[in-house]
Structure 1
Amino acid sequence: MRMELKECAAIAISTRGTVDQHVIQGITKDSRESLPNALYVPIKGDRFDGHRFVLQAMENGAIASLWAEGTPIPSDLPADFPLIIVRDTIEALQQLAKLYLNKVKPVVIGVTGSNGKTSTKDMIEAVVATTFKTHKTQGNYNNHIGLPLTILSMDEGTEVIILEMGMNHFGEISLLSKLAQPDLAIITNIGESHIEFLGSREGIAQAKLEIKDGLKESGLLILDGDEPLLQHVKATNVLSCGYGEENTMTIVDQQGDENGFSFGIEGEGTTYYLPMLGTHNVKNATYAIAVGHYLNIEDSAINEGLKHLKMTGMRLEKYEGLHGSLLINDAYNASPTSMKAAISAIKELKNYERKVVVLGDMYELGPDEEAMHRSVAQSISEPITDVIVIGEKGRWIGEEVKKLQKPINVSLFSVKEDAKDAILASLSDQTVVLFKASRGLALETIITGFKKDIQEAGK
């Protein structure tokens, strides 16, 4: 980023120190971060107050700071160190992001959904970056603090910015959408994530549709046309993607293996290729293709972008396991919808006789969490051969598979460390293993251990 400090001062109640002749070239909320010529944003939480660390921020390169009105100023802070005094530093951060968006004027793409936000964001970037200078949300910077920080970290020459929008409660997506004012808004799907706070899938759909609140008048809404809870959303500026014939973009001629999928779009002559597992990711790719069409990117460039896609980690990520096995790390997070989709992706693999799913607890599912865990068992059928479940909640999945008397080996473990031997016993060159659970369980550490075993075996 690049902003003159006096531009930032436009949002201030008042200022302290010298605000002229300074140029901000970065922004940080972490006083420990070394960032020359940065604006420091002190965030005040229930258990901490970033204002206490302004001197550390200054030592690490900050040349100015936002400052909440009424907060005592440290006596040893130099008198000429610029403070932009505001009512609330988070609101001020959001206002600065708006100012910077209006200055740079990129095409803004907002992405939300219960599952697949990050994968879709990565696919859109892969397509758009073939033609435009592109910036996207990094990591989980997708909330009321992370999104403005993402905006303020983009280069002045950015032509397209891709903003992931997450939420736990009603009103949060609306705030982000109004802040970003997207030209394109995408809803990947409606699942069960955060149903504890939103009450029902209908509530989740309502919350996700808040992305329309800030959509520019000339903007386009792209959504999952196969989702019944979104099928009432009809307008000239709505484009639906999916497998149903009623969609604006209907997926056809899909073929796949363990390396990815080829597919087409009804009415087009192009065959696209996606180097990823999972039919659900083909639908995510159609959102990226729709964005490419909106931006008048050539089909050949869209295809080239998808072919060279670089995904954020732990999204159906493949590793070679012991004895030539294939390990699939989809352990970043989980909901019933995403877990069922990942299981389906493993079922689609043709070259493995033994298909093992290692599943664990899913969180934030509310009072119906047991029923939602048990519902996953309906997706576990042949050619799945083994189910290894971990955790108190994950146990419900295994119990339900047993109850349904499916011809599948079921093993139940309280903690992931105890599951390692059972997983090891299944590994051969005919075995594929999926790892899937909520973030809190960190199932990927099992894979990390196996990778160390491979390294030791190779010595």
Structure 2
Amino acid sequence: MELTDFYRIFLQHPVVCTDTRKIKKNCIYFALKGSNFNGNAFAKDALQKGAAYAVIDEESHKISDKTILVDDVLKTLQELANYHRNQSKTKVVSLTGSNGKTTTKELIHKVLSKKYNTIATVGNLNNHIGVPLTLLTIKEDTEIGIIEMGANHQKEIEFLASIAEPDFGYITNFGKAHLEGFGGIDGVIKGKSELYDYLQANEKYVFLNADDPIQKERLSTYINKFGFSETDHEYYNIKFLGANPFVKFKFENEEVSTQLIGAYNFTNCAIAVLVGKYFNIPKTAIKDAIESYHPENNRSQLIEKNGHHIILDAYNANPTSMKAALDSFGEVESKSKVLFLGDMFELGETAAKEHQAIAHLAEEMEFNNTFLVGENFSKVASTFKKFKSFETLKAHLENDKLSPASILIKGSRGMALERILEYL
């Protein structure tokens, strides 16, 4: 079937599903494959549950004209998404970076939604499947789409940009994330900059943090850019006022008090202001949007429990975000500060060194009590309490209850340190 013919079917059934447990009536089911599953085997089930069509790439599962046989289901999904993106008049803003992508995306979405019909990546569906699925939610009246792009190796952002074809782009930062896949920090910079490469090659617009020396240097000669800075008056001025614990900042004499914890969230807020200004959102609406944003999903959440003031930042972690979280926690005013730090994943051969560096930084900051959790942290040279697994930490907490304190919980997603809350 030609892509144009398939697109006509999509327009009649513009809801896409990839999981038969979430089938919606009259949707199109795409039978994706994974290391532990084969979606083709569920095509019949999808149709029985109400899907209008099932897209498959194994002929043995073709049972009627409602099963559309293609060479590669994933490739077809990506091609359909790109075609749909190009048929729409929607402006696409793409984001990538080592840290802060999802929070930045949600802040920009809040701001732009004050004036425009806007869609954005749901959760962190930011890979070779999530980006196409988000693009396919663009409707005829969608004015702006905000597309988050994640990557853990070279050429991934380049590929995602070729699908989304963004009109605007922003890189949150270049940090020590996915070092194993990228091959070190230089590889991270090169990989994330693939978004810049696409935007510049196609003469599209770039948003930038002009106080980030890598971004500023990388875009020094590029004309189509709009940046913010605290000090450089060539760029739009946004001033950080502090974070104890919530971020406060100022732009155009508007003082903004956010519900976001940690100085590292300032630049996430600042870019939302900048994008709002570019798209002519009134400054009072920008202020209202950012002040009303409340973080969820274990991202810099402030939780009060049994006398504890808990900063839960357990969605993810890498050396850059870990250091930022520790620096910010160090500024919090409290008589008693307790740390729970979990392993940072995907660091490859640098894992031992990076975990030791974080442990050393925590020692220098002299918090009242520090708990290190995970295979890597359990091996560092430190006087801190070390636990090889969550189960051993759990046993300790059940027998030795903490007195009320300010607590930071930070670790990679795979550590699931939000489980600590149950034992505090």
TM (normalized to structure 2)?
0.91
Give the secondary structure class of the aligned counterpart of 2:61.
Answer: coil
Q: Is residue 327 of structure 2 the alignment partner of residue 340 of structure 1? A: no
Q: Is residue 344 of structure 2 the alignment partner of residue 357 of structure 1? A: no
- The answer to whether the Cα contact below 8 Å between 1:122 and 1:311 also exists between their aligned partners in 2 is no
Shift of 1:331: 0.6
With over 3 angstroms needed to count, the CA separation of the structure-2 counterparts of 1:64 and 1:214, relative to structure 1, is farther
Q: Is residue 242 of structure 2 the alignment partner of residue 255 of structure 1? A: yes
- Report the residue type matching 1:262 in the other structure: K
Q: Which residue of 1 aligns with 2:28?
A: 39
Q: Distance in 2 between the 1:163 and 1:318 partners?
A: 27
Q: Distance in 1 between the 2:2 and 2:76 partners?
A: 14
Give the secondary structure class of the aligned counterpart of 1:140.
Answer: coil
Q: Distance in 1 between the 2:112 and 2:27 partners?
A: 29
Q: Which residue of 1 aligns with 2:223?
A: 236
- Report the residue type matching 1:427 in the other structure: S
With over 3 angstroms needed to count, the CA separation of the structure-2 counterparts of 1:112 and 1:20, relative to structure 1, is closer
With over 3 angstroms needed to count, the CA separation of the structure-2 counterparts of 1:272 and 1:220, relative to structure 1, is farther
Q: Distance in 1 between the 2:312 and 2:329 partners?
A: 11
- The answer to whether the Cα contact below 8 Å between 2:242 and 2:263 also exists between their aligned partners in 1 is no
Shift of 1:8: 5.3
Q: Distance in 1 between the 2:291 and 2:86 partners?
A: 33
Report the identity percentage.
Answer: 32
Q: Is residue 147 of structure 2 the alignment partner of residue 160 of structure 1? A: no
Shift of 1:254: 0.7
Q: Which residue of 1 aligns with 2:354?
A: 372
Q: Is residue 314 of structure 2 the alignment partner of residue 314 of structure 1? A: no
- Report the residue type matching 2:250 in the other structure: G
Task: Give the counterpart of 2:119 among 129, 132, 135.
Answer: 135
Q: Distance in 2 between the 1:23 and 1:10 partners?
A: 10
- Report the residue type matching 1:419 in the other structure: L
Shift of 1:382: 3.8
Q: Which residue of 2 aligns with 1:414?
A: 388
- The answer to whether the Cα contact below 8 Å between 1:173 and 1:210 also exists between their aligned partners in 2 is yes
- The answer to whether the Cα contact below 8 Å between 2:261 and 2:302 also exists between their aligned partners in 1 is no
Shift of 1:138: 1.2
Q: Distance in 2 between the 1:198 and 1:256 partners?
A: 32
Q: Distance in 2 between the 1:116 and 1:392 partners?
A: 26
Q: Which residue of 2 aligns with 1:219?
A: 204
- The answer to whether the Cα contact below 8 Å between 2:13 and 2:26 also exists between their aligned partners in 1 is yes
Shift of 1:20: 7.1
Q: Is residue 10 of structure 2 the alignment partner of residue 25 of structure 1? A: no
Give the secondary structure class of the aligned counterpart of 1:435.
Answer: strand
Shift of 1:26: 0.7
With over 3 angstroms needed to count, the CA separation of the structure-2 counterparts of 1:118 and 1:247, relative to structure 1, is farther
Farther-moved stretch of structure 1 (213-222 vs 118-127): 213-222
Q: Is residue 280 of structure 2 the alignment partner of residue 284 of structure 1? A: no
Q: Deviations over 1:54-110 (max 9, x none)?
A: 101101221113232xx22436x23x3251x43321111111112222233212111
Shift of 1:162: 1.0
Q: Which residue of 2 aligns with 1:9?
A: 5
Shift of 1:227: 3.6
- Report the residue type matching 2:208 in the other structure: L
Q: Distance in 2 between the 1:110 and 1:54 partners?
A: 33
Extract structure 1 runs of 4+ deviating beyond 6 A.
Answer: 19-22
Q: Which residue of 1 aligns with 2:402?
A: 426
Q: Distance in 2 between the 1:193 and 1:270 partners?
A: 34
Q: Deviations over 1:178-212 (max 9, x none)?
A: 21111221100111111101112111011001113
Q: Deviations over 1:340-395 (max 9, x none)?
A: 11112222222x21111100111111111111112213532446222111122123
TM (normalized to structure 1)?
0.84
Give the secondary structure class of the aligned counterpart of 2:241.
Answer: strand
Q: RMSD of aligned C-alpha atoms?
A: 2.5
Give the secondary structure class of the aligned counterpart of 2:260.
Answer: coil
- Report the residue type matching 1:149 in the other structure: L
- The answer to whether the Cα contact below 8 Å between 1:110 and 1:162 also exists between their aligned partners in 2 is yes
With over 3 angstroms needed to count, the CA separation of the structure-2 counterparts of 1:231 and 1:93, relative to structure 1, is same
- The answer to whether the Cα contact below 8 Å between 1:180 and 1:214 also exists between their aligned partners in 2 is no
